[in-house]
Structure formats: C-alpha cells, structure tokens
Amino acid sequence: MDPIAQELNSIISENNPNIMGMLSRIGQSFYFPKGILSQSAEAKEKAHRINATIGIAMEKGDTMYLPSLMAPIAGITPKESLNYAPSFGIPALRKAWQEALFEKNPSLAGKTISLPIVTCGITNGLSILADMWIDPGDVIILPDMIWGNYNLIFKLRYGATISQYTLFSDDGGFNLPAFEAKVKEEAKKRTKITVLLNSPQNPSGYSITDAEGRRIADILTEVASRGTNVIAVADDAYFGLFYEDDILKESIFSLLCDRDPRLLAVKLDGATKETFAWGLRVGFITYGCRVDGDPGRVYHALEQKTAGTIRANISNAAHLSQTLVLNALRDKRHAAEKTGKFHVLQQRALKVKQVLSDRRYKDAWDVYPFNSGYFMCIRLKSVNAETLRVHLLDTYGVGLISIGDKNLRIAFSCVEEAQVQELFDIIFQGVQDLLGKTD
C-alpha cells in the first residue's frame, strides 16, 4: 500500500477506527497522489518566471483558446472555463455549497461536516461512493420501488447485494415497520450495512415526513449502537422540491451525521435539479460522522481519498460547469428565480392530485403517495403497464415509463399544468381501449 494511503488510514483509525472498517478494500488503498498535480500546484505558487508543469497550452501568459469556442460564453474567461479544475472541485464552489448546506439544513447547526467534493453529477457520485465504500457481496438496503440505475451501479458494476423492503405501508406513508425489520435483519448477518435513502423518491415522488425521518434516524442509530457499522446514504437529487407542509424539509443527512461512532452519513446532491442545470453535471459528495478526536483530520483524509478516486475515474468535473454554478449561487437573483420555478412545479403536482381525485379513475388504477420531486406513479388494476405504455405512444403520441407489470411513472415536471387533465384522460382511454370498452 502506498505510504500516503497508509498515512491517511492511520489518521482515520486514530480518530474513528469504525470508519476504517466501513471503507472498501479499494477505499482503504486510495489516496490523492503527490506527483504531477501537487508539483504543478507548487509551481503555480512559486514559478513566477516560467511554469512548464501543466498539461494545457498557454499563449501570451494566458490559456490558449479558440475564439469560435469562447464566443458563446459571455463574461467567462478561458481560465475559468477551459482549464482543468482540481479533482476536489473548484475551492470557492465547494465552500459555497457547504455554506448552502448549513442554510438549507437547520439541524446541521453546531455540527462539523466535510467540505463537499465535486462529482460529475450524482450518478458519478454514486459510483465514487461505491468505489470508496462497497466491496463485492456487501449489502445495499433499498425499497421495492427504486431508480433502476442503482442496479447497474451497485449490483452489476460492484457486485453488491440489494436487499429490499416494501416502501409504502397500508396507510400510505413510509413503511417504517418494514424498513426497521429489513435493517435489523441484515445487521444480524453482517458487520457492515449500507442504507440508501432517496427523498424526494424516484420513481414515486414521495418524501418522508418529519416524524418518519426522525424515526428512521433513531432506527439506524440503534443498529449502529449495537455494533453494526452503518453507512447511511442520502440521495438528495431532488432536494428542496417539497410541496406539502408535513414533509421533512431538510436532508436526513443532517439528522444522522453525528449520532453514533459507527454511523457514517453520506450526502449526494447537486446542481442537477436544485438549480435546474441537468446537463452541467455538477454534483457533490459530503461526509458527516461522529469523531472522538479531531473531525477535521478525518474529513481531510476522506476528502483526499475521495479526490483520489475521482482522479482515477474522470480526473475532474468540467471547469466551465462548475464556474456557471458558482456564478449562479453568487447571483442576487438566484434565490428568487429558484422560488419561482419551485412554485411552477408545485402547482403541477397539486393539479395532478386534483385531477386524480376524480372517482371515475378508481377502477383503472390506484395512485401511489406523492408529495414532492418530479414524478408520481399509478398502479394499474386490469392491464399490463408495458402494453399500455406502447399503446399510448403508438395511438395517442403520449410517452410514459412502465415499471414492472403494473406501474406507470408520470413525470409531471415536464407536463404543463394545462395538459394534466388531458394526460390522465388519455391514459384512462388507453386502459379502456385495451379492455375493449367504449364510452
């Protein structure tokens, strides 16, 4: 093992040995190299005459560029857009995002968390998470309704075992008894479990309530206190898009990050949905844990390992994308603009609820609980979901996503409020078509 990795491992072990037991084999071995990158950084500070270290082209003391490429990027210099960004991410963006985390999550007050590390979107963040913390055969606890990419990332790429519980209880809320039973069942078999919590949830569009979130935190803390290492991952891709009053309006990460020495909280979020910047691919990974010694040293070690993983994976996220997000966060118009778009999506969600309250749909489908995010799902009672999806696409030009035999996912985020009634009328008509019924 490289001496740098050994040094980082020693820092982690001295301050919280449980975290060493959570790291994957690769995670234990990873480090951020002190080779070309560190030498280039040193030269950037001291090479005032000639700096021949960086793998970019320079001209007249500045970044070489093509005017045809830079012309559409008004107000951003080549240095802020074309240069490589650090593997950790632009320092100012990391600091700005951390400050925003404290503003958006009041329960973080007085707590210490890592400086967020920039990933190329949340999907890349999930892969980096798996590199750092998941070995083949490790268990990932998820509900029965999940984003399909979890299977590709954790099961196919990393050989993890996915263990599932029923997401909704009979009364329409988060199924706390099923969740607790599954967590405790897996904890009895293993020394480490990973629990992935997605709120707002994809595909259902459900966010946990304040009471549900606090009970989830208590369950995971109890399991950790009994001797199982718990990695609790908050996939907060749709964070902030909460449309009803009783929802937990902050990330469950903030309730978990200092609860027990055996409980590591990991937050995955980003500009993707929070700033309506899907294609910029700017995500973040942040750690929160309880440390008896100096948490700063542990977080520094974890950041070094994570940045080393990114270095070996994509090298760094796009500089231009990071600059655009940082500039937006600094813009005085930013908060008001986000609020305006939030209300547009909230009105669409409320319209969907109003339309689906019509009793004439009751024999065609049931509606899964939803209160947030981009999506909602219906469970068909009499026809196959994929058959209906294809029929709606071919006959009416309406596109939906089928999930399994009975579920259809509707992304109301991309449906105008005025189209909502028409959409569900067409879905209903499609069901009637397949059943051979006529009005």
What are the DSSP calls for 155-185, one per residue? IIIT-PEEEEE-SB-TTSSB-HHHHHHHHHH
**Which residue spans within 199-301 are E strands per DSSP?**
229-235, 263-270, 283-288
Domain 3-32+87-330 - what CATH class?
A: alpha beta
CA distances from 97 to 163, 210, 326, 437 (A): 32, 24, 9, 54
Q: How confident is the model at residue 437 (pLDDT cuts 50, 70, 90)?
A: confident
Residue among 197, 167, 252, 195 at smallest CA distance from 22: 195
Judged on CB neighbours under 10 Å (0-12, 13-18, 19+), 388 is buried
Is the peptide bond preceding residue 78 cis, with omega within 30 degrees of 0?
A: no
Tell me which amino acid residue 282 is: V
Q: How confident is the model at residue 37 (pLDDT cuts 50, 70, 90)?
A: low
Asked if residue 381 has pLDDT above 80, the reply is: yes
> Where do we find the tokens 């978990």?
256
> Where do we find the tokens 């231009």?
320
Q: Please state, in angstroms and rounded to a whole number, the distance separating the CA atoms of residues 209 and 264.
A: 22
What is the tens place of the pLDDT at every residue in 176-228?
Answer: 999 999 999 999 999 999 999 999 999 999 999 999 999 999 999 999 999 99
φ, ψ for residue 156, nearest 5 deg: -80, -45
Q: How confident is the model at residue 74, as a pLDDT?
A: 85
Residues ≥6 apart with Cβ < 8 Å to 153 = 123, 126, 127, 130
Asked if residue 36 has pLDDT above 90, the reply is: no
**DSSP for residue 361:** G
Asked if residue 439 has pLDDT above 60, the reply is: no
Tell me which amino acid residue 64 is: M
Q: How confident is the model at residue 364, as a pLDDT?
A: 97
Mean of all residue pLDDT scores within the chain: 95
Q: How confident is the model at residue 50, as a pLDDT?
A: 80
Residue among 153, 162, 164 at smallest CA distance from 129: 153
CB-based burial, 48-75: b 16+ in 10 Å, e otherwise: eeeeeebeeeeeeeebebeeeeeeebee
pTM (2 d.p.)? 0.95
Q: How confident is the model at residue 122, as a pLDDT?
A: 97
Q: Please state, in angstroms and rounded to a whole number, the distance separating the CA atoms of residues 191 and 49.
A: 55
Tell me which amino acid residue 92 is: A
**DSSP for residue 33:** -
* Residues 10-29, mean pLDDT to the nearest whole number: 95
Q: How confident is the model at residue 61, as a pLDDT?
A: 85
Q: How confident is the model at residue 87, as a pLDDT?
A: 94
Contact 191, 21 (CB under 8 A): yes
Is the peptide bond preceding residue 203 cis, with omega within 30 degrees of 0?
A: yes
Q: Please state, in angstroms and rounded to a whole number, the distance separating the CA atoms of residues 246 and 257.
A: 22
Give me 222's structure tokens. Answer: 């109890």
User: Is residue 118 within a helix (H) or strand (E), and if so which, with residue range?
Assistant: strand 117-119
Q: How confident is the model at residue 69, as a pLDDT?
A: 93
pLDDT > 70 in the chain, percent:
98
What is the tens place of the pLDDT at every residue in 261-306?
Answer: 999 999 999 999 999 999 999 999 999 999 988 899 999 999 999 9
Fold designation for 335-435: Aspartate Aminotransferase, domain 1 (3.90.1150)
Give me 279's structure tokens. Answer: 């294609």
Asked if residue 12 has pLDDT above 90, the reply is: yes
Residues ≥6 apart with Cβ < 8 Å to 273 = 237, 238, 239, 241, 374
Residue among 53, 88, 100 at smallest CA distance from 306: 88
352 in helix, strand or coil?
helix
Q: How confident is the model at residue 52, as a pLDDT?
A: 83
Provide the residue ranges of all domains of the chain, joining segments of one domain with +.
Answer: 3-32+87-330, 34-73, 335-435
Residue among 2, 24, 20 at smallest CA distance from 298: 20
* Residues 127-141, mean pLDDT to the nearest whole number: 98
Task: Say how far residue 362 (Cα) sits from the centre of its chain.
Answer: 34
Is the peptide bond preceding residue 86 cis, with omega within 30 degrees of 0?
A: no
* Residues 148-168, mean pLDDT to the nearest whole number: 97
* Residues 58-72, mean pLDDT to the nearest whole number: 91
Task: Say how far residue 76 (Cα) sits from the centre of its chain.
Answer: 28
Q: How confident is the model at residue 46 (pLDDT cuts 50, 70, 90)?
A: confident
Tell me which amino acid residue 338 is: K
